[in-house]
Amino acid sequence: MRHLLILLATLIPVSAQWIHYPTPGIPRTPDGNPDLSAPAPKTADGKPDISGIWVAVNAKYLNDLAADGINVPMLPWAQALYKQRKDNMGKGRPSERCLTRGVVDFDTIPMNIKFIQTPGTIAVLYEEYNHYRQIFMDGRPLPKPVQPAYMGYSIGRWEGDTLVVDTTGFNDIGWLDNNGYPQTESLHVTERFHRRDFGHMDLQITIDDSKAYTKPWTVTVAGFRYLPDTEIIENICENEKDFQHMVGK
Amino acid sequence: MKSLLLLAACLPVTAQWIHYPTPGIPRTPDSKPNLSAPAPKTADGKPDLSGLWTRTNNPNYFFDLTTKAEEAPMLPSAAALYKQRLAALQKGHPSERCVGHGPTDYATLGQPRRIIQTPQMIAILYESYNHFRQIFLDGRALPPVTQPAYMGYSVGHWDGDTLVVETSGLDERGWLDMNGHPQTETTKITERYLRRDFGHMDLQLIIEDPNAYSKPWGVNLALNLFADEDMIEMMCENEKDYRHMVGK
């Protein structure tokens, strides 16, 4: 935890404050407060609308994606690398060099994110690092990976009221969580987002990477809380400021 | 032009955009994108600026927003800082530390950017640095500046078919271009976006800042739709670029 706390402390300016602006058009109780247990909204074409600002409910799964004690079926090399990273207090994680996070650790970090849902594309804006991700909703297939990336390449579809997002094309540099579960270029992540009501969204993540794990494993992570009446603030990562604070071997 | 080193260091040698036919766009009989078709409208009748765009008319605007036809009307303090940055061959530009660009130099950069438009907001996703910017269309006013930012804070409204975007709250550490025309916390940027037809958009940039410039000044840019392609991920890694920088 020391590592994470130091990093977060250096990234967020002391004076940071989110700009308060009442979110237009959201359901409110008679006293004007956001009604977070109202039904989840729908788009014009009848799909659930997950647009809005959200934050992971806690940091439990950011620190350890397998925090619930599930057995993560690592291959021996992955086990050895994971142990080395964990013993080293997470030093070497790409985020310490401003190199962003990936799909999985952005899903579990308790910093504001914004979903913008349009018929062809869902854009996800991350407060951390001012980075974004695209999820294509136009029916295209996953392409043959040509250039491995931290965010990979994502396509989404609706299964009832659940948004199912498949992502491949990852690089092998990213880490799945702060402890350092490894990934390879054969990683396939499946996310299942379900907006239960106006204020709450559940998320289940399946990790399928036959070069690092003997079989796919699935985690129901903390999910997201809706954040009304706020915004994301700019958080640009500047290397030299953080790197010197990193501890570890 | 030394900053070419930086671009070269940031883009992987193997970079290639993923070709995928953009669904739902007008096409000519031979299936090419029909870039002179009318500009699309949203369900509520506003011009729809959505799509992947690149800057086209003059690559030099990225380096010098004035292109030297007429120098920006800098006050003496701004002129002195600009001269110093020019003499240092752009060393010290925030992008060399992966801090990225601001609205003006992202607008003049040649790399693609995607505009995502909803009735309430526009997000611009930049390939460069994997950074984004938001423009609020919900009628809110520009807030008092509490936390200056490289992207500032942007609100937009429609003036006929032109989207007018006003930005304030900029961080004085940002540079308006690679050569280093200064900005301060009182800089205001006005952008006017007009999608002339399906494939072409005019973008006028106006810079106002009583603490740096004696009068408003600006430039007219042209953006082209980048059909059937998509952005590639470009993350900036500091240590790799910094050692390539030259200058005083």
Segment B147-162, tens digit of pLDDT: 899 999 999 999 999 9
Q: Mind listing the pLDDT tens digit for each residue in A117-131?
A: 998 999 999 999 999
**A205-211, long-range: CB within 8 Å, 24+ apart, which pairs?**
A205/A65, A205/A104, A205/A107, A207/A65, A207/A104, A207/A176, A207/A181, A207/A183, A209/A183, A209/A184, A210/A186, A211/A75, A211/A184, A211/A185, A211/A186
- 3-class state of residue A165 by DSSP: strand
Q: How far is CA A131 from CA A95, B47, B236, in A?
A: 12, 27, 11
- The partner residue sitting opposite B149, judged by closest CB among A120, A234, A238, is A234
A153-159/A132-136 β-pairing: parallel
Q: How far is CA B56 from CA A173, B7, B53, B108, B120, in A?
A: 34, 17, 9, 9, 28
Q: Is a pLDDT exceeding 50 seen at residue A10?
A: no
- The partner residue sitting opposite B237, judged by closest CB among A97, A125, A129, is A97
Q: How far is CA A51 from CA A41, A115, A199, A224, in A?
A: 9, 5, 11, 12
Give the span between the Cα atoms of A124 and A161, in whole angstroms: 19
User: B133 and B157 in contact (C-beta within 8 Å)?
Assistant: no
Average pLDDT value for chain A: 89
Angle at A151 between CA B32 and CA B228, to 5 degrees: 0
CB contact under 8 A, B237 and A238: no
Q: Is a pLDDT exceeding 90 seen at residue A134?
A: yes
- The partner residue sitting opposite B116, judged by closest CB among A123, A149, A234, is A123
Q: How far is CA B90 from CA B73, B127, B173, in A?
A: 20, 22, 13
User: B217 and B73 in contact (C-beta within 8 Å)?
Assistant: yes
Q: Is this complex's ipTM strictly greater than 0.85? A: yes
What confidence tier does A133 reach under pLDDT thresholds 50, 70, 90? very high
Residue given tokens 């804070």 in the structure block: B153
Q: Which string of DSSP letters, residue by residue, matches B104-115?
A: HHHHH-SS-EEE
| pLDDT, mean of residues B18-41 | 93
Count of Cβ atoms closer than 10 Å to residue A158 Cβ = 12
Residue in B with minimal Cα distance to A101 = B235
| Closest chain A C-alpha to B36 CA, distance in angstroms | 22
Q: Is a pLDDT exceeding 70 seen at residue A239?
A: no
- The partner residue sitting opposite A236, judged by closest CB among B23, B99, B118, is B99
Q: Is a pLDDT exceeding 50 seen at residue A214?
A: yes
Interface size, chain A vs chain B, as Cβ–Cβ contacts under 8 Å: 110
For the whole model, what pTM was predicted? 0.90
CB contact under 8 A, A239 and B146: no
CA B36 to chain CA mean position, Å: 23
| Closest chain B C-alpha to A129 CA, distance in angstroms | 8
Encoded tokens for B28: 């000519």
Q: What is the CA radius of gyration of chain A?
A: 18
Which of A112, A234, A237, A240 best probes binding to B when mutated, by most B CB atoms within 10 angstroms?
A: A234
Q: What is the CA radius of gyration of chain B?
A: 18
- The partner residue sitting opposite B132, judged by closest CB among A97, A99, A125, is A125
Angle at B50 between CA B49 and CA B56, to 5 degrees: 70
Q: Is a pLDDT exceeding 90 seen at residue A38?
A: yes
Query: What pLDDT does B3 receive?
Result: 41
| pLDDT, mean of residues B41-69 | 92
CB contact under 8 A, A97 and B238: yes
What confidence tier does B241 reach under pLDDT thresholds 50, 70, 90? low
What confidence tier does A242 reach under pLDDT thresholds 50, 70, 90? low
Percent of chain B as helix, strand, coil, to the nearest 5: 15, 30, 55
Q: Which residues of B touch A167 (CB under 8 A)?
A: none
Q: Which residues of B touch A233 (CB under 8 A)?
A: 147, 149
Query: What pLDDT does B4 receive?
Result: 41
